[in-house]
């Protein structure tokens, strides 16, 4: 399955095959049978603690895992009192004495009197990586991760997260209670820039052949790859996205427009609304991974700044049934749905149906789709739109699309003129802003569905934009008798008036 990447990639989804199963063991599992170790893909074994304890069972457990050809990690339990370098060397010296070399090392950073000391942890990781030449992971619990962030560690080392959604209720077999993404959302954790290796989801697991407690884990399929250091994502490219609904659908309220009590952002409306009937299929605008697919009221987070950011500034009451898709360098969001078949962690391709439009949530006066684009890095509080940008700037420009627009507007365009229109398409947003209220709205009001052969009034405005740079040529095309152009009288008259008024 796909790997879990930084901040909201895919994770284990209940019912799917786990990438790698794992156990971590120590002297508490002394004598663990090889048949139990054989049930796991990854075995992580305790070597040392502080600078005074060497686990006497390390070699036995290591050799059992080695005979089963498992991925083997070795961990050090950090204690305060001595330097990071001293404790790292203490671990490495022990492994040298045992003449054992793991696939990777782990710093177990859970002593509550020390978890605040990020600099110590970073020094241990750096020293171990430099001296051993092997990958090193950082193990921590969810509470200190939330409290201390560990921002200096995030770009350089894999994180292995410990968090127990079911507490100390035993879990039988490798059956996580949810995905890691869901657990992160449940706990309001800011994970920007973290490359997760995996998740320890219970300390009281049970496997056949062992009646005592076992730490159970799953690890992602890129857990053993090099860390990809965080970089600033490239801006979303123009002409990258597909429309979430048919391109001919009327836009009932566009980005940055005001006019309702639901526009809380200082800049105005944070997305684009399409006037679609209930249960109209809604499609993913690009390939990605589902981060949320449920009622917004079930999203985590309170009304603190951190709470809002943990749920992408989605209003729990306003949005209704909502789908959020992570596309790597940006998110797309689809609100007020009637239903979604998706689950967190699902991979989607451009054009996949991710839900069906509806009228859910309190911020709606009628059936419609609310669509948003949220680029990374997130600018929640600085751009006037809660980090959102105009979706219209990123819809896919293609001859096929314009042909669809023209067809819906009752127009057939000559092929060479179509190419000229294409050359103008990427300036759509600038034209929309200037012309919407003065030109488009009266046209939309006039060309209601059923009039002059127009199936959907929203097409007319899009069409007028596309020809805006060629007003004279467009006027000529609509003269009676012009080859290759079909028109309805009312439509021709109105558009000619528009052209005359702009000359």
pLDDT, tens digit, 9 for 90 and up, residues 462-492: 444 444 444 444 444 333 333 333 333 334 4
With CA atoms as reference, report the closest residue to 199 among 377, 13, 72. 13
Q: What is the pLDDT of residue 237?
A: 42
Q: Place 412 in a pLDDT band, splitting at 50, 70 and 90.
A: very low
Q: What is the pLDDT of residue 442?
A: 43
| Residue 446, pLDDT above cutoff 70 | no
| Residue 408, pLDDT above cutoff 80 | no
| Residue 437, pLDDT above cutoff 60 | no
Q: What is the pLDDT of residue 199?
A: 94
Range among 170-184, 274-288, 375-389, 413-427 with highest mean pLDDT value: 274-288
Q: What is the mean pLDDT of the chain?
A: 75
Q: CA gyration radius for the chain?
A: 29
pLDDT: is 411 or 22 the higher one? Answer: 22
Q: Place 184 in a pLDDT band, splitting at 50, 70 and 90.
A: confident
Q: Tell the residue number behind the tokens 């001859």, with chain if given.
A: 399
Report the run of H or E that residue 422 belongs to, with start and end. helix 415-424
- CA 389 vs. chain centroid, Å, equals 16
Q: What is the pLDDT of residue 386?
A: 79
How large is the average pLDDT for residues 117-146? 95
With CA atoms as reference, report the closest residue to 322 among 310, 330, 312. 312
Work out the number of other CB atoms within 10 angstroms of the CB of residue 232.
8
Q: Place 393 in a pLDDT band, splitting at 50, 70 and 90.
A: low
| Residue 256, pLDDT above cutoff 80 | no
How large is the average pLDDT for residues 69-94? 96
| Residue 264, pLDDT above cutoff 80 | no
Rounded alpha-carbon distances, angstroms, from residue 189 to 161, 194, 223, 310, 340:
11, 11, 20, 7, 25
How large is the average pLDDT for residues 267-296? 88
Q: Place 106 in a pLDDT band, splitting at 50, 70 and 90.
A: very high
How large is the average pLDDT for residues 422-429? 42
| Residues 386, 379: Cα–Cα separation, whole Å | 7
Work out the number of other CB atoms within 10 angstroms of the CB of residue 349.
10
Q: What is the pLDDT of residue 187?
A: 78
Give 93's contacts (C-beta < 8 A, 6+ positions apart).
none
Q: What is the pLDDT of residue 383?
A: 67
Q: Place 313 in a pLDDT band, splitting at 50, 70 and 90.
A: confident
Q: What is the pLDDT of residue 380?
A: 74
Work out the number of other CB atoms within 10 angstroms of the CB of residue 307.
15
Give 225's contacts (C-beta < 8 A, 6+ positions apart).
3
């Amino acid at each position: 399955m796909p790997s879990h990447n930084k901040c909201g990639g895919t994770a284990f989804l209940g019912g799917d095959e786990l990438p790698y199963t794992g156990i971590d063991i120590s002297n508490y599992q002394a004598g663990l049978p090889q048949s139990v170790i054989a049930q796991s893909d990854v075995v992580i074994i305790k070597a040392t603690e502080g600078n005074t304890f060497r686990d006497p069972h390390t070699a036995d457990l290591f050799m059992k895992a080695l005979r089963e050809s498992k991925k083997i990690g070795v961990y050090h339990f950090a204690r305060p009192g001595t330097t990071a370098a001293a404790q790292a060397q203490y671990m490495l010296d022990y492994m040298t004495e045992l003449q054992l070399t793991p696939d990777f090392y782990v710093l177990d950073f859970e002593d509550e009197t020390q978890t605040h000391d990020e600099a110590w942890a970073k020094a241990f990781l750096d020293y171990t990586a430099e001296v051993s030449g092997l990958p090193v992971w950082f193990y921590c619990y969810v509470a200190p991760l939330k409290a201390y962030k560990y921002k200096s560690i995030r770009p350089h080392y894999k994180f292995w997260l410990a968090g127990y959604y079911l507490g100390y209720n035993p879990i039988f077999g490798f059956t996580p209670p949810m995905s890691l993404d869901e657990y992160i959302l449940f706990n309001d954790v800011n994970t920007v820039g973290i490359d997760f290796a995996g998740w320890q989801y219970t300390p009281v697991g049970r496997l056949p052949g062992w009646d005592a407690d076992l730490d159970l884990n799953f690890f992602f399929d890129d857990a053993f790859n090099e860390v990809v250091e965080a970089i600033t994502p490239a801006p979303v490219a123009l002409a990258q996205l597909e429309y979430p609904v048919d391109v001919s659908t009327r836009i009932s309220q566009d980005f940055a427009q005001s006019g309702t009590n639901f526009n809380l952002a200082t800049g105005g409306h944070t997305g684009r609304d399409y006037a679609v009937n209930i249960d109209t299929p809604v499609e993913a605008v690009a390939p990605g991974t589902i981060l949320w697919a449920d009622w917004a009221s079930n999203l985590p987070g309170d009304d603190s700044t951190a709470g809002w950011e943990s749920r992408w500034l989605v209003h729990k009451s306003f949005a209704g049934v909502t789908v959020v898709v992570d596309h790597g360098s940006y998110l797309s969001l689809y609100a007020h749905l009637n239903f979604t078949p998706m689950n967190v962690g699902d991979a989607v391709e451009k054009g996949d149906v991710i839900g069906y439009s509806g009228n859910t949530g309190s911020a709606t006066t009628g059936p419609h789709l609310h669509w948003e684009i949220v680029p990374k890095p997130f600018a929640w509080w600085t751009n006037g739109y809660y980090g959102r940008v105009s979706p219209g700037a990123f819809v896919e420009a293609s001859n096929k699309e314009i042909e669809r627009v023209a067809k819906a507007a009752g127009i057939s365009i000559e092929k060479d003129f179509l190419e000229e229109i294409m050359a103008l398409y990427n300036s759509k947003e600038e034209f929309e802003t200037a012309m919407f209220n003065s030109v488009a709205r009266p046209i939309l009001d006039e060309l209601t569905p059923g009039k002059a052969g127009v199936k959907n009034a929203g097409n007319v405005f899009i069409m007028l934009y596309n020809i805006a740079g060629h007003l004279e040529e467009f006027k000529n095309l609509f003269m009676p008798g012009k080859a290759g152009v079909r028109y309805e009288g009312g439509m021709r008259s109105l558009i000619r008036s528009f052209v005359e008024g702009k000359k």
